[in-house]
DNA sequence: CGCGGCATTGACTCATTTCAAAGGTGGTGG
DNA sequence: CCACCACCTTTGAAATGAGTCAATGCCGCG
């Protein structure tokens, strides 16, 4: 069940390779950790489910989203290898985490044990999640759609620095739209504008080369 | 130096009263805690400063914001008594926290000591901060300005549940605008619309009574 | 009394949404 | 092997909501 999204997409690192790059965040990994893999569309945890685990993504891509009353989907968090999620105040998850590509893998840790051991290793993972959300708030806080898309590309490039070649967009235009809270058409048009003004080059529908970082940063269109 | 913002605004709880309602988040409070008070406009910590402390707001109101390249201000987080802030990945703060009213008070904790003691008590404070940011992303993710303002009012009511009477807006229209990432005029018009449709009543410029929670929730305008 | 900050209202412009349709791509099944 | 199908992407035209510019009112305070 090969997924076309994964063909041009280099997140297929073996767990062993990842072990050196991704820190084990939550205490003694051997005792607590539990590995799981998912296909595209698979749900790691669902909104309303009892929050039994804290997760760390080790391979693939996932999005954490909520469905609003009007049926629209809102993507709260884009998860790349190394990112932790599943932190929640109450007893249930408040959002659904869904896998974007095949060969998505997580390590999960029982929450009760983490709570029991004092949540030592969570600290770093939590402030990283905080930084991620703050960065994202600033991305969607830009005024025009070109600025939003440009800032998103820069953020993506920074977070996927393991990829030296062209920036491979891990998610579809629809996902980008729901993440930036603009419409799909606007995303497509914004990419077209950035391309036209020479800030980026679209080497493929899912491959972007950033030519002018400063233009994206400031967002002058 | 009385501030008119504080006259209609009931955050003047004495530290003793707060002690029962606001948990001490960060270990042995007597040894680590350090109390500080600020006037309106006072800066608790500034973007770029060395991140020496973690803070908990114990009285007043504060906003955490960044100034973008184009000069616009973006409010990342609205801080009410009990909220913790100052978590950062690097060695410096990445945003500025400014007090909105006089008699704003914080308890601050040296970061090095927290790191040394394993960040035990931070866990709860951090996931609360995460929930705050997630909620806010969902608020600004609403489509129309009326929905955003309505969702903001509901969020505010929930977080200020200690106030049984009318909802006292802790921040100005300008602050609301920079928080919801819409213009001041739009905030004013949205409040007017919500008033006209009977969802809220404006008992004063800074006092709102929510009449129809469901209308604000769904955001039908 | 006048000043400064806050709030509201109006008119105009324009970017984005919405609605609609067509092109592209890969996967599946005949 | 090919054709169909589902999904993703792009483009166009029209409608509208929000931004911008501008002016006025409000209130507390020096």
How far apart are the CA of B86 and the nearest CA of chain A, in angstroms?
Answer: 10
**Quick one: which residue's CA is nearest to D7's C1'?**
A172
Whether the full predicted model's pTM is greater than 0.95, yes or no, is no
pLDDT given for residue A6 in this prediction: 31
Q: What is the mean pLDDT of residues B43-55?
A: 97
Q: pLDDT tens digit string along B102-116?
A: 999 999 999 988 777
Q: H or E stretch including B65? A: strand B62-67
Tell me, in Å, how far CA of B183 is from C1' of C9?
Answer: 14
Res. A44: pLDDT tops 70: yes
Q: What is the mean pLDDT of chain B?
A: 86
Res. B96: pLDDT tops 70: yes
Res. A97: pLDDT tops 50: yes
Res. B1: pLDDT tops 70: no
pLDDT given for residue A118 in this prediction: 64
Q: Which of A5-9, A20-24, A136-140 has the lowest mean pLDDT?
A: A5-9
Q: Which of B120, B127, B136 has its CB closest to that of A137?
A: B136
Contact by Cβ (8 Å): A39, A1: yes
Residue B105 dihedral angles phi and psi, to the nearest 5°: -135, 145
Q: pLDDT tens digit string along B159-176?
A: 998 766 789 999 999 999
Res. A25: pLDDT tops 70: no
Q: What is the 3-state secondary structure (H, E, C) of chain A?
A: CCCHHHHCCCCCCCHHHHHHHCCCCCCCHHHHEEEEEECCCCEEECCCCECCEEEEEEECCEEEEEECCCCCEEEEEEECCCCEECCCCCCECCCEEEECCCCEEEEEEEHHHHHHCCCCCHHHHHHHHHHHHHHHHHHHCCCCHHHHHHHHHHHHHHHCCCCCCCEECCCCHHHHHHHHCCCHHHHHHHHHHHHHCCCEEEEECCEEEECCHHHHHHCCC
Percent residues over pLDDT 90 in chain A: 72
User: pLDDT tier at B17 (50, 70, 90 boundaries)?
Assistant: very low
Which three-class secondary structure state does DSSP give residue B183? coil
Q: What is the mean pLDDT of residues A14-36?
A: 58
Does residue A41 approach strand D to less than 7 Å at its CB?
A: no
Mark yes or no for CB contact B131/A95 under 8 Å: no
Report in angstroms the alpha-carbon separations of B216 from A74, B35, B121, B147, B195: 18, 38, 35, 7, 11
| Chain A residues lying within 8 Å of B133, measured CB to CB | 130, 133-134, 137
């Amino acid at each position: 069940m090969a997924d076309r999204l994964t063909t041009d997409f280099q997140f297929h690192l073996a767990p062993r390779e990842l072990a050196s790059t991704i820190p084990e965040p939550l205490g003694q990994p051997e005792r607590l950790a539990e590995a799981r893999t998912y296909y595209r569309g698979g749900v790691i945890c669902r909104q309303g489910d009892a929050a039994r685990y804290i997760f760390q993504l080790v391979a693939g891509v996932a999005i954490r989203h909520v469905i609003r009353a009007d049926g629209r989907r809102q993507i709260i968090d884009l998860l790349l290898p190394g990112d932790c999620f599943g932190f929640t105040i109450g007893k249930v998850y408040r959002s659904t985490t869904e896998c974007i590509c095949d060969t998505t893998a997580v390590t999960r840790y029982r929450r009760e044990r983490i709570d029991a051991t004092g949540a030592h290793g969570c600290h770093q993972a939590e402030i990283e999640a905080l930084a991620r959300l703050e960065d994202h708030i600033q991305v969607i806080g830009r005024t025009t759609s070109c600025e939003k898309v440009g800032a998103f590309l820069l953020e993506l490039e920074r977070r996927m620095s393991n990829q030296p070649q062209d920036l491979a967009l891990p998610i579809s235009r629809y996902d980008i739209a729901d993440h930036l809270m603009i419409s799909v058409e606007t995303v497509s048009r914004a990419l077209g504008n950035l391309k036209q003004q020479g800030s980026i080059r679209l080497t493929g529908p899912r491959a972007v080369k950033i030519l002018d970082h400063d233009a994206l940063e400031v967002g002058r269109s």
